[in-house]
Amino acid sequence: MKQIGAAGAALGLAGCQTENGGTATGDGNDNGDGGDGAAQAGDFEFSRHPAVAPPGWDASKTRQGSGQTERTAVFVLQNIDNPFFIPMTCGFHDALNIFGWDGQVTGPPANGGIPDQVSLIEQNVSNMEPGDVLVTTVLNNEAYNDAIQNALDNDIAVVNGHSTPATRDWNYDYMMNDVGFSYRDQPMIVPHVGIRDARGGAAMAAEAYDRLQEKIPDKDEYTVLITNELPDNPSVTRRVSADAADLGTAQRYFEAQSDPSVSLYNDQIINPPASIADAQTQIVDTISGADVDGVVCSAFWGAVGAGQALEAGELEGPMVVCGFDLLRPLLEQIEAGNVDFTVGQDPYSQGFQNVPLAWMYLERGIEMKDLEWGVSVWDQENVDFALERRSWAGDGGLLQWQQENYDFLR
């Protein structure tokens, strides 16, 4: 399996956090949006995060503590109805069970919004005890701040799992100096667990660029259609649109290439609906008969639609088609040879890793910092592995299971 970026190991890129809008030390063009704001003075790049004793700190725990303190951890998502979050929920449940903690995953329904999510954060914090853990997605750099500070004021450890704002808007410097997050009068940050979206988009584009040269050699310039099926979702948009992030993104990666160069079809990113059939129709209507070498999608709907169009003869190849995430319809199109690859962001770990990060802080006094990783590439060589792994997509009983198994919900 080909890997792009850092491996999603247990501690990812712990501490790859920077200040004042720069970039972390990375790997050239592939560092994307992932620096998360590094301080820069001349040619220097560096990172600083606070070291603050956790709630209920007992120094003897570092020598002889069992680490088995009973705690509650709550993960508040932005949309509890989105099936994408099911693997994340499973990862969170596995971690709670391994560490012996209580808790739940919750969030507003699909027709809810950020105010509803913030309200759920506040409700859950009011039912938690000092030394418990709040994990939440963060969709912008303002709406959550009062609720986060309230949790800190109540001796709750806070982690930002999965969705996080753009680096330029949400970094350690911003948290400590602009927002003023603090714990017991000391500056505090909210660590992020997951991927950086713009970096993931650049990784997808880099893989597509390599495959364009393999599948369609001897061209001086390639033309690709970029699709973004969720233009109102800032995290998904940062995967592809250069306007959404200062660094990284698929668009910026393509525009930086030469010999051969890459141009965007009609110099635009199209926004097909988040529906496979509708995305297929719009992609076909947009590029049918045109000299387009690739379709690069921010999510799975467009990639599946383009693959089906190639299979049905509505589009003519050769063409590189790719998307994001490991949804079964996309994996099946890869298996059939209609889509070249997808990149995976590992939502399971984006649920699981919040718990050991908080455990190390609360039980051993190890300061919290970002745990971030790159993306994996899935194509015909390893798609069977993806399809053989347990699929959580149909596990509609998870929320009922947690209702019956966690004391916090009784």
Our CA dihedral for 135, 136, 141, 147, rounded to 10 degrees, sits at -80
Whether 120 is in a domain gets the answer yes
- What is the average per-residue pLDDT within 134-149? 98
Q: Which of 285, 264, 256, 266 minimizes the C-alpha distance to 222? A: 264
In terms of domains, do 31 and 112 share one?
yes
Locate 403 and state its tokens.
Answer: 């209702």
Whether 324 is in a domain gets the answer yes
Output 166 or 23, whichever has higher pLDDT: 166
C-alpha distance from residue 99 to each of 86, 91, 127, 360 (Å): 20, 12, 20, 11
The predicted pLDDT at position 12 comes to 31
The predicted pLDDT at position 63 comes to 76
Whether 126 is in a domain gets the answer yes
Q: Could you tell me if 138 and 170 are in contact, meaning their C-beta atoms sit under 8 angstroms apart?
A: yes
In terms of domains, do 176 and 155 share one?
yes
The predicted pLDDT at position 204 comes to 99
Q: Is the torsion defined by CA of 194, 78, 322, 335 positive or negative?
A: positive
The predicted pLDDT at position 389 comes to 79
3-state secondary structure of 139: coil
Q: Could you tell me if 239 and 250 are in contact, meaning their C-beta atoms sit under 8 angstroms apart?
A: yes
Q: Which of 243, 239, 240 minimizes the C-alpha distance to 225? A: 240
Whether 320 is in a domain gets the answer yes
Q: Could you tell me if 191 and 369 are in contact, meaning their C-beta atoms sit under 8 angstroms apart?
A: yes
In terms of domains, do 163 and 125 share one?
yes
Relative to beta strand 221-227, strand 192-194 is unpaired
In terms of domains, do 181 and 243 share one?
no
Q: Which residues of 120-131 are buried (b: 16+ CB within 10 A; e: fewer)?
A: bbeebbeebeeb
Task: Identify the band that residue 11 occupies on the pLDDT scale cut at 50, 70 and 90.
Answer: very low
In terms of domains, do 28 and 64 share one?
yes
Output 319 or 61, whichever has higher pLDDT: 319
Report the C-alpha gap between 225 and 323 in whole angstroms: 12
Domain containing residue 175: CATH number: 3.40.50.2300
The predicted pLDDT at position 33 comes to 39
Q: Which of 34, 383, 27 minimizes the C-alpha distance to 201? A: 34
How confident is the model over 375-388, as pLDDT tens digits?
A: 999 999 999 998 88
Residue 37 confidence (pLDDT) above 70: no
Whether 354 is in a domain gets the answer yes
Q: Could you tell me if 293 and 219 are in contact, meaning their C-beta atoms sit under 8 angstroms apart?
A: yes
The predicted pLDDT at position 410 comes to 57
In terms of domains, do 141 and 20 share one?
yes
Query: How many domains in the chain?
Result: 2
In terms of domains, do 164 and 286 share one?
no
Residue 62 confidence (pLDDT) above 80: no
- What is the average per-residue pLDDT within 255-265? 97
Q: Could you tell me if 249 and 269 are in contact, meaning their C-beta atoms sit under 8 angstroms apart?
A: no
Whether 393 is in a domain gets the answer no
- What is the average per-residue pLDDT within 252-263? 98
Whether 378 is in a domain gets the answer no
Q: Which of 66, 163, 156 minimizes the C-alpha distance to 103? A: 156
Of 344, 360, 388, the position where a domain reaches its end is: 344
In terms of domains, do 246 and 270 share one?
yes
Q: Which domain holds residue 173?
A: 12-192+347-373+403-409
Q: Where are the alpha helices (DSSP H) in 216-353?
A: 234-240, 250-255, 276-287, 301-312, 328-335, 347-352
The predicted pLDDT at position 275 comes to 96
The predicted pLDDT at position 10 comes to 31
In terms of domains, do 16 and 120 share one?
yes
Report the C-alpha gap between 76 and 107 in whole angstroms: 5
Identity of residue 27: D
Of 298, 328, 344, the position where a domain reaches its end is: 344
Q: Could you tell me if 295 and 321 are in contact, meaning their C-beta atoms sit under 8 angstroms apart?
A: yes
Task: Identify the band that residue 64 occupies on the pLDDT scale cut at 50, 70 and 90.
Answer: confident
Residue 402 confidence (pLDDT) above 80: no
How confident is the model over 276-315, as pLDDT tens digits?
A: 999 999 999 999 999 999 999 999 999 999 999 999 999 9
In terms of domains, do 244 and 313 share one?
yes
Whether 262 is in a domain gets the answer yes
The predicted pLDDT at position 15 comes to 33
Task: Identify the band that residue 73 occupies on the pLDDT scale cut at 50, 70 and 90.
Answer: very high
The predicted pLDDT at position 84 comes to 85
Of 344, 364, 394, the position where a domain reaches its end is: 344
Residue 155 confidence (pLDDT) above 60: yes
In terms of domains, do 247 and 133 share one?
no
Our CA dihedral for 162, 123, 176, 242, rounded to 10 degrees, sits at 30
Phi first, then psi, for residue 117 (nearest 5°) are -65, -45
How confident is the model over 323-350, as pLDDT tens digits?
A: 999 999 999 999 999 999 999 999 999 9
The fraction of the chain above a pLDDT of 90, given in percent, is 76
In terms of domains, do 331 and 354 share one?
no
- Round the average pLDDT of the chain to a whole number and report it: 88
Task: Identify the band that residue 396 occupies on the pLDDT scale cut at 50, 70 and 90.
Answer: low
The predicted pLDDT at position 30 comes to 34
How confident is the model over 217-239, as pLDDT tens digits?
A: 999 999 999 999 999 999 999 99
The predicted pLDDT at position 27 comes to 33
